[in-house]
Structure 1
């Protein structure tokens, strides 16, 4: 889908309820889209049922609604897109842009990342037992302009960096599905956490292999706890308190360097979002990770502005 209209998205994986770091990313992507008078979409990246509590998707969508972040189109669920991903994989295999891999992680580690089974040469066939499918990267020094961080360059190493696009268990992998859906939905701009920055060069190659130009990228700093760990399910980040959405949004604006007026801490969701739309300044976003302290107590201070 070719379009000149701004189209952004927020695409959480339903491994648990939204936490404060997720809200900061969602709000930044929503504000970027609204500032550009574009569209903001929500996509649920439910690709791994083994890690997804059945209640998580409902919790995520409920939290977004409580915080006034409504998508401009129906929510997309990747679990309903398997046919599209499989067609893409079949095409990539036919074009020798992907290959079947039966190497274990231990084998790859012991062989310094190279494939002892010579998978990339096409020595693995569908009848060779359990195998993954990997995208065949090209050796490249990848350059692009990040909308917040400025000029970026990453080295891409063929074979050593080749990402899995279909796991041995039969699950479609993030590196494929995110690109297929960004293309299909006409996404022009991606706002996401800087923890995904290192994936960008690889994803740009997948975009081009599928005949599409990559979107504009904007990587915001992740929110970390007092131990310097990224807020996540693994670091036991608390779920958002949906009973105080305006206050959560106020704190998220602080984390994004927007300096909201103190009175907004006691305003409505609609008033906070209206102020944020009118005063959004991308240039005010900190370039380094913010530190979330005492979210339940109502304080948050970005670090290293």
Structure 2
């Protein structure tokens, strides 16, 4: 029987929702047990949140001062040591997981399976290739440890009704000294996190300028949505890089996705294919976004958005 170790993602003492999605993927593999590992300088709060996730057998914590910040070079050696006895190591396919999992796989001497969107068996997984235009089945040698990143947009978050025990763990891992934390630069916002938001409003090149992008922020705030952008909007300097949605940005699956002034390049569509309802507003009636939109409005976004905002007041 398999045993799965899920790496918890957290920041500022709060567990990222992507962890519960990775647990859902672990449950699909039908293992003997699913343990979550939390690495931090003070893991208590995060561990308590992880212990509530349904399906979790046990939460392991490694408390070290060096784990105060999530540096892949520091965390990977500890996880590789902790993974002894586990058949699988899962991490969410977020910036955190994509940075960390390859190092863990290298230390364990195995290949990584990326962006798992379906579990066909304990050692058989489906993942997208060619910008999501094809799905490939990956078979992993049963004798090898499976290190995989989980495509969070393809999995629901496991419920939080559990009460798993929490156990402190000590590992004898030599940590590198050439990598150290300097500072963290990130945008501050009261809006919902883009990757976990139930509603997302995104702007594209059609918004026209950084100043005009305020109309996107205003409408998103009106409906309590996260804010995203196409690569074209980011490249044009309308908004910061962390807002980019698509193949080279964030893969999301909100209940409602509104694409405002976005033409719908295949790279962008890859990031929203799992969204529940897609609404598109574009002045070009032939824009590719309308081919996948559930609701399409052809017209001037600067006229339509204020009208929508007034209608929901």
> Which of the five TM-score ranges fits, normalised by the shorter chain?
0.3 to 0.5
Instruction: Name the TM-score, length of structure 2 as normaliser.
Output: 0.35
Instruction: Name the TM-score, length of structure 1 as normaliser.
Output: 0.36
